[in-house]
Amino acid sequence: MAKISPVSIKYMIHAKFEAIGPVEKPDVIGAIFGQTEGLLGAELEIRDLQKEGKIGRIEVETESANGKTTGKIHIPTALDQSETSLIAAAIETIEKIGPTEAKIVVEKIEDVRGNKRDYIIERAKRLLEGFDGSTNSREISDMLRSASRTSKLIEYGEDKLPCGDLSGEEIIVVEGRADVVNLLENRVYNVISMNGTKLPKTIIDLSKEKQITLFLDGDRGGKLIAKNVIENAEVDFIVFAPDGKEVEELNGKEILASLRKKIPAKEFSSYSSRSDDRERYENRTRSYERRDDRRDFVRDNRYENEPLEKVPKNNYEPLEKVSKYNSGEEEHAEEKESKPVEKVSIDKAKLRPILLKEVANSKKAYFLDQSLNVVKKIPKTNILKEISRVRGAVVLAIDGKATSQIASAAKRIGIQYIAANTFAENEEDIEYISF
């Protein structure tokens, strides 16, 4: 049987057990091997993993009193976090040890390497203090603080992407490992890298579960990456570093300032489209250089030397239209000319139980028609991405806050009532209903 090297141990599973009768150490180890067999498939068979050296020697401590046996179990592993957690969960399913009924509870999974990192930092501190005047205490403190933060760098998923703490609902996705290290050094821990410009499957899967903020370099390459990621994953927000700078170069203040300027991914997509349209328009109108004082029109250079009377009327274009392209504004003639929507009445007494029984604590957004039938329901983090596809709804019920962006988007699709826990700003023509 292969033995696991103490150097290669990554995690230690600590569990306690209680049996209603007398049991010995071999009974406990036999139960772990026998009752977990086949639970997790051939690749995570504890007996085989121990033969391969991926699980070390299982240590058992027992103590008998009043006819009962209690004790502790310690299982060292060289597996990754997810596999170690599966093994730990599997041993909790054991119901008998030897001939008696028993219960096993995992107390914790210890990161052995974390203890090593703590020792390294403490030892480094003592070594640095031994240098004669080459560094001062502030430099030592800064170095150790940086080392402590970057020690939180781990790998995630089958693509082994460098990341920090991904336990929260919001995750920041950056391009490279150096970007992750820089954000960790500046106390931004919920970050993961794509490991290059190619979008890994791990990020695509994460975007379906978490709220994703894309944080990219402030150059053309960053914008191209943003377009690619938005097309292939569910991105909520976009953030760019200042023009000409990379994420790995930013200091703490620049990182926070950039993150405060994040924009919804949908807004970025439409902005990019408008930018492309403006560029094409400007190329098409590049020859429009002369303005005639007698009219607010721009004239083509082909008629530069011709008197105004001989210039075809269809050769002029209003300056107002050109200026709107130049200033980045969109023309929505249909929206401006549209007539006010007729107010639809709903049964608010019937709406109340729907809010309390279905919407509350669901972490979802419900779209309802005039009869209060559910037209569509989506995760509340995806409202801005999905709302444009909803048809026939007049009520939007959210388990959370109705932001001004959500209210504006709801108004565009004909929503007349918004029910939520809290509201940011009231949008005209929308009636607000509080839970």
Alpha-carbon span 32 to 4, nearest angstrom: 18
Look at residue 164 and tell me if it is in a domain.
Answer: yes
Residues 197 and 95 in one domain: no
**Structural contact between residues 21 and 98, judged by C-beta atoms closer than 8 angstroms:** yes
Residues 105 and 226 in one domain: no
**Residue after which a domain boundary falls, among 245, 268, 291:** 268
Residues 148 and 263 in one domain: yes
Instruction: Tell me the three state secondary structure of residue 208.
Output: coil
Alpha-carbon span 253 to 144, nearest angstrom: 20
Continuous segment of H or E residues that includes residue 77: strand 68-77
| Nearest residue to 284 (alpha-carbon basis) of 298, 268, 305, 263 | 298
Report CA-CA distances (Å) from 89 to 19, 23, 39, 84, 343: 18, 22, 11, 9, 55
Report the CATH number at residue 77.
3.30.70.60
Residues 94 and 181 in one domain: no
Alpha-carbon span 63 to 73, nearest angstrom: 12
**Can you give the pTM of this predicted structure?**
0.35
Residues 136 and 89 in one domain: no
Identify the pLDDT of residue 40: 86
**Structural contact between residues 147 and 121, judged by C-beta atoms closer than 8 angstroms:** yes
pLDDT tens-digit profile, the chain (435 residues)? 445 555 578 889 999 999 998 899 999 999 999 988 888 888 888 988 888 888 989 999 999 988 899 999 999 998 888 899 999 999 999 999 988 999 999 999 988 877 777 788 888 888 877 765 555 666 666 666 666 666 678 888 888 898 988 888 899 999 988 899 889 888 888 999 998 767 889 999 999 999 999 999 888 888 888 888 888 889 999 999 998 888 988 998 999 999 998 889 888 766 555 555 444 444 444 443 333 333 333 444 554 455 555 545 444 444 344 444 444 444 444 444 444 567 888 888 888 888 888 888 888 999 999 999 999 989 888 888 889 888 889 999 998 888 888 888 888 898 999 998 887 766 677 888 887
Residues 74 and 145 in one domain: no
Determine the residue type at 252. G
Residues 100 and 127 in one domain: no
**Structural contact between residues 184 and 150, judged by C-beta atoms closer than 8 angstroms:** yes
Residues 105 and 128 in one domain: no
Identify the pLDDT of residue 402: 85
Write out the two tokens for 371: 């009869």
Identify the pLDDT of residue 148: 62
Sign, CA dihedral 192-195-198-204, equals: negative
Residues 211 and 78 in one domain: no
End-to-end CA distance of the chain: 63
Continuous segment of H or E residues that includes residue 36: none
Range of the domain at 225: 116-268
Number of structural domains found in the chain: 3
Instruction: Tell me the three state secondary structure of residue 113.
Output: helix
Sheet arrangement for strand 290-291: 290-291, 297-299, 317-318
Residues 137 and 259 in one domain: yes
Write out the two tokens for 95: 């119901």
Continuous segment of H or E residues that includes residue 411: helix 404-412
Q: What are phi and psi of 289, to 5 degrees?
A: -120, -20
Angle between helices 220-232 and 265-284 (to 10 degrees): 120
